[in-house]
């Protein structure tokens, strides 16, 4: 970990991102500062900056996302731990001026928690805020950009008052010349066929993926792993929901054809999806490029070390670029793009792009006069990111397999266009035992695996049941050789006949001496929300089983919640508070404190997704 040398008149922009939005926002901060003539601008991921160097900085902008239930992104955890060091004095950051912009979703209970906590801690350590913390909200009609634009304008105006020499061309920020594209930060070198280093064959997929993704400057912002841990083969693809329902949930089984697998319950599997070859071909054709030529992609100004690695252009696009630009030659298209780029057009741009789920290829086809240099497309096209899925199997029960419970994503846009999730749709279309292998990485999840002696209260409606299928299978395997504690599992779905995921699995483990059986002190309770006039959810079942829940809590149970990030976690937490109040006689406030203490002990876990 290192820090760039301190430079007078330098603006340092540090970001912590989980899905890429904070990267985009931080890059915008950097571009606007450069446009305003800032002598030096550095945009860095938080985990590449040495926090001990922070006192030597004069002006720092932090852009941080909040994940899950108020958690910081992975790249922020080390930095945040350093800032919490009790040896740091209240004057440690004296002389540092800072600004924090947070990205979050007000639909979550702990909205923008990471940004708010960072702002408070910097203040405690003696740093002086340039302006108030900005809170980007995905629920805003324009997304987080609806807050970012006015926040940035306020930031530049205040900085210009503090030190005019930092932004000598302030007018270029306020009234930018949209006809000037500027210089790309990415360089693309084209090679003749005799210069090209032969790329790995398709049979050596690991090296091919590693070469392409290590070359992408965009993916370096995401700290993409250097190579896939496993190339897995799909051996089962089963639909768990009935055909005549609007939901398609699949049970997928993957295995390693060459060796074993190393993972634990609570982990997630990250998958790099394949893009449609026709879409990749159309994108390259639209860019008027030769798909078979060889290229080297690198950050502009990077040093050469004698050997220049290269890769086929089509391979690079397919493995790194998730196939908008402001560069049109036709006047009517130019006007529309410039309108989209203006503050007045921000809401319409958000509607056109994010709400409609436009791909880069669709945008280019909508504006046929656009001739965007490939260097800019490499820089601006969203990188092809891995998608993470909770593992729903136990390595004790299935040592050479990983099971996934995948909801096939599809939705209708405001203009009634059907859109499909790239990775889930691709997985759903794969046939078991095909020769093609799936590039996968095992990622440690936020649900730490419990000791067999700890009782469990699991709440997982819908596909939130995925990690708990793994927990139950693991405990069942453990119970054959050692004593295990009981499990209460609360599951919810819409209809018993349509989307009762893993019905036979749960019932098998809740009968006789199964780990979910009442004979073992456990239980399985399911809420069918649409099978009766009055909607019934998991929180109602929790309150119905108040005595059992309290009995397990009193015997040292850990609580795990997984599923949708909307109202469910808050509703379930409220139901648990009701149980504590009812069974112990304490106040609601005391019940909330009791759960927070449980969380600090590592016995209250929440994993949610949008």
Instruction: Give the residue from 157, 174, 191 where a domain finishes.
Output: 174
3-state SS record for 6-32 = CCCCEEEEEEECCCCHHHHHHHHHHHH
What's the CATH code of the domain at 155?
A: 3.40.50.360
Which residue numbers belong to the known binding site? 17-22, 65-68, 138, 387-390, 421-424, 463, 529-530, 535-539, 571, 609
- Residues making up the annotated binding site for NADP(+) are 463, 529-530, 535-539, 571
**Taking 50 as the threshold, does the pLDDT of residue 247 lie above it?**
yes
Look at residue 331 in the predicted model and tell me its pLDDT.
42
Residue 583, both tokens: 């069974």
Place of tokens 């159309």: 282
pLDDT at 409 over 90: no
User: Rounded to whole angstroms, how far apart are CA atoms 470 and 600?
Assistant: 24
Q: Over the stretch 80-134, which tens digit does the pLDDT of each residue have?
A: 999 999 999 999 999 999 999 999 988 777 889 999 999 999 999 999 999 999 9
What gap in Å lies between CA 111 and CA 102, rounded to an integer?
Answer: 10
- CATH of residue 497's domain is 3.40.50.80
Q: For 300-312, how does the pLDDT look when each residue is reduced to its tens digit (9 = 90+)?
A: 766 655 557 889 9
The proportion of the chain whose per-residue pLDDT surpasses 90, expressed as a percent, equals 54
What does the chain come to in residues? 610
pLDDT tens figures, 542-601: 999 999 999 999 999 999 999 986 789 889 999 999 999 999 999 999 999 999 999 999
Residue 348, H or E segment: helix 346-350
Taking residues 245-251, report their average pLDDT: 89
Q: Is the pLDDT of residue 79 over 50?
A: yes
pLDDT band at 348 (very low <50, low <70, confident <90, very high): low
In a domain, 194, yes or no: no
The domain tally of the chain equals 2
Q: Tell me, yes or no, whether 389 lies in a domain.
A: no
Is residue 446 domain-resident? no
User: What's the pLDDT score for residue 106?
Assistant: 83
Name the pLDDT band for 333 (thresholds 50, 70, 90): very low
Detail the residues annotated as belonging to a binding site for FMN. 17-22, 65-68, 138
d(C-alpha 36, C-alpha 177), whole Å = 12
Q: Which residues contact 427 (CB under 8 A, 6 or more apart)?
A: 234, 237, 250, 252, 271, 273, 404, 406, 438
Output the CA torsion sign for 505, 511, 515, 521.
positive
N-term to C-term CA, the chain: 32
pLDDT at 126: 97
Does any domain span residue 557? yes
pLDDT for res 329: 44
Mean residue pLDDT across the chain = 85
Annotated binding site for FAD: 387-390, 421-424, 609
- Give Cα separations from 577 to 84, 432, 546, 571 (angstroms): 30, 45, 10, 10
Beta strands in 448-511 (DSSP E): 456-459, 487-493
Residue 236 lies in a domain: no
- Of the chain, the percentage scoring pLDDT greater than 70 comes to 83
pLDDT at residue 332, as a whole number: 45
Per the domain annotation, does 219 fall within a domain? no
Domain boundary pick from 158, 174, 190 = 174
pLDDT tens-digit series, residues 489-545: 999 999 999 999 999 999 999 998 899 999 999 999 999 999 999 999 999 999 999
Q: What is the pLDDT of residue 324?
A: 42
pLDDT per residue as tens digits for the range 38-68: 989 999 999 989 999 999 999 999 999 988 6
- Residue 46: predicted pLDDT: 93
pLDDT band at 177 (very low <50, low <70, confident <90, very high): low
542 falls within a domain: yes
Burial grade of 486 (CB within 10 A; 0-12, 13-18, 19 or more):
buried
Mean pLDDT, range 445-474, rounded to an integer: 95
477 assigned to some structural domain: yes
Q: Give the residue from 174, 200, 218 where a domain finishes.
A: 174
Segments forming the whole domain that contains residue 599? 456-609
- Confidence (pLDDT) at 325: 44
């Amino acid at each position: 970990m290192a820090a760039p040398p301190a430079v007078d008149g330098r603006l340092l922009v540090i970001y912590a991102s989980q899905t890429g939005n904070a990267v985009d926002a931080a890059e915008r901060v950097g571009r606007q500062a450069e446009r305003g003539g800032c002598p030096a601008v550095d945009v860095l991921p938080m985990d590449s900056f040495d926090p001990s160097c922070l006192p030597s900085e004069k002006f720092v902008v932090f852009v941080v996302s909040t994940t899950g239930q108020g958690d910081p992104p992975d790249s922020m955890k080390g930095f945040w731990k350093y800032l919490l060091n009790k040896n740091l004095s209240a004057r440690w950051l004296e002389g540092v001026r800072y600004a924090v912009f947070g990205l979050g979703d007000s639909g979550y209970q702990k909205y923008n928690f990471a940004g708010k906590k960072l702002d408070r801690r910097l203040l405690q350590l003696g740093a002086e805020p340039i302006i108030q913390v900005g809170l980007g909200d995905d629920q805003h009609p324009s997304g987080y950009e609806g807050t970012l634009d006015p926040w940035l304008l306020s930031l530049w105006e205040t900085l210009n008052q503090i030190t005019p020499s930092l932004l000598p061309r302030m007018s270029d920020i306020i009234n930018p010349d949209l006809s000037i594209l500027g210089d790309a930060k990415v360089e693309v070198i084209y090679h003749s066929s005799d210069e090209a280093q032969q790329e790995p064959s398709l049979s050596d997929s690991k090296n091919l993926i590693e070469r392409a993704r290590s070359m992408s400057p965009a993916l370096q912002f995401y700290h993409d792993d250097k190579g896939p841990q496993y190339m897995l083969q799909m051996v089962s693809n089963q639909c768990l929901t009935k055909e005549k329902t609007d939901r398609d949930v699949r049970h997928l089984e993957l295995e390693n054809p060459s060796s074993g697998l190393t993972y634990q319950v609570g982990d997630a599997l990250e998958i790099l999806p394949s893009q449609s070859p026709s879409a990749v071909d159309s994108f390259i054709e639209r860019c008027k490029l030769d798909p078979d030529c060889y290229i080297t992609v690198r950050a502009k100004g990077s040093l050469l070390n004698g050997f220049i690695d290269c890769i086929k252009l089509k391979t690079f696009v397919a493995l790194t670029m998730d196939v908008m630009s402001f560069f049109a030659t036709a006047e009517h298209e130019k006007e529309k793009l410039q309108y989209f780029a203006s503050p007045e057009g921000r809401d319409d741009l958000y509607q056109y792009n994010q709400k409609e789920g436009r791909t880069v290829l669709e945008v280019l086809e909508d504006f046929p006069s656009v001739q965007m240099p490939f260097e800019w497309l490499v820089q601006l096209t969203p990188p092809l990111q891995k998608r993470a899925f909770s593992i729903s199997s136990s390595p004790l029960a299935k040592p050479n397999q990983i099971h996934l419970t995948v909801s096939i994503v599809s939705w209708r846009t405001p203009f009634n266009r059907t859109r499909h999730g790239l990775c889930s749709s691709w997985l759903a279309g794969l046939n078991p035992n095909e020769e093609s292998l799936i590039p996968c990485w095992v990622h440690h999840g936020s649900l730490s695996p419990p000791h067999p002696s700890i009782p469990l209260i699991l709440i997982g409606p819908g596909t939130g049941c995925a990690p708990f299928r793994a927990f139950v299978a693991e405990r069942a395997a453990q119970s054959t050789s050692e004593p295990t504690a009981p499990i209460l599992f609360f599951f919810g779905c819409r209809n018993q006949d349509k989307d009762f995921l893993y019905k036979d699995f749960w019932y098998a483990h809740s009968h006789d001496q199964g780990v979910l059986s009442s004979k073992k002190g456990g239980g399985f309770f399911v809420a069918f929300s649409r099978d009766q006039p009055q909607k019934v959810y998991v929180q109602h079942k929790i309150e119905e089983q108040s005595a059992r829940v309290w009995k397990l809590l009193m015997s040292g149970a850990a609580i795990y919640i997984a599923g949708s990030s909307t109202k469910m976690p808050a509703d379930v937490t409220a139901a648990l508070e009701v149980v504590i109040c009812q069974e112990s006689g304490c106040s609601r406030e005391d019940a909330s404190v009791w759960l927070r203490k449980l969380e600090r002990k590592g016995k209250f876990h929440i994993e949610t997704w949008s």
